[in-house]
Amino acid sequence: MKYALLAILALFLLGGFSAMSSYNGLVSLEEGVDAEWSNVETQYQRRFDLIPNLVATVQGAADFERETLTAVTEARASAFNAMKAVGNGTGSIADFQRSNMVLGGAMNGMLGYSERYPELKANQNFSDLQAQLEGTENRISVARKKFNDTVKGYNGKVRRFPGALWAGMFGFEQREYFESVEGSEAAPTVDFGS
């Protein structure tokens, strides 16, 4: 009887340590995913901050259709709101990706004007902002990869035994990866009707 009680106590302690270890591990991994998402947001925020300056530079250096600037400004706002929705848990990464595809298309339309307006192409502010935007796109790519790597580790823990048992009990769910959305394989077409 004494050995049976010790065996039950040992199993209970082992289960408790397993639950505690799994819970703490899941919390750490979840915090890592949230931290990497913050890094992704930081890079997109840098992009969003550059866009108004680029729009103002283009607007000041070239005479072109107002709807192009409006499209860029509206697409930026939509992508920014989609990013915030992902951050607060009310949106999806796929919706965020789609809104950024629209923004990318609008930006390509605006950046394409540099070919049509030589004075814009020669503008140093435009060149500097365009280079910063290109660098930011590279940073975004790196941040998304790190985010996906972190999500992979977290999702693995949530899905593997015994983590799956404890994850379900404590309410930890798999996280969404950054993936291409339909249509992202085709570059937007810029047509000035020339």
- pLDDT per residue over 98-151, tens digit each? 999 999 888 888 877 767 777 776 778 888 888 898 899 999 999 999 999 999
The superfamily (CATH) of domain 22-170 is LemA-like domain (1.20.1440.20)
Pull the structure tokens for residue 37: 């998402």
The one-character DSSP state at 186 is S
112 token code pair: 């394409």
Residues 6+ apart with CB under 8 A from 87: 37, 38, 41
Residue 64's pLDDT band (cuts 50, 70, 90): low
193: left (phi over 0), alpha (psi -120 to 50) or beta: left
Residue 153: CB atoms within 10 A of its CB come to 12
State if pTM tops 0.85: no
Q: At what angle do helices 163-170 and 2-61 cross, to 10 degrees?
A: 70
And the tokens for 182?
Answer: 């339909």
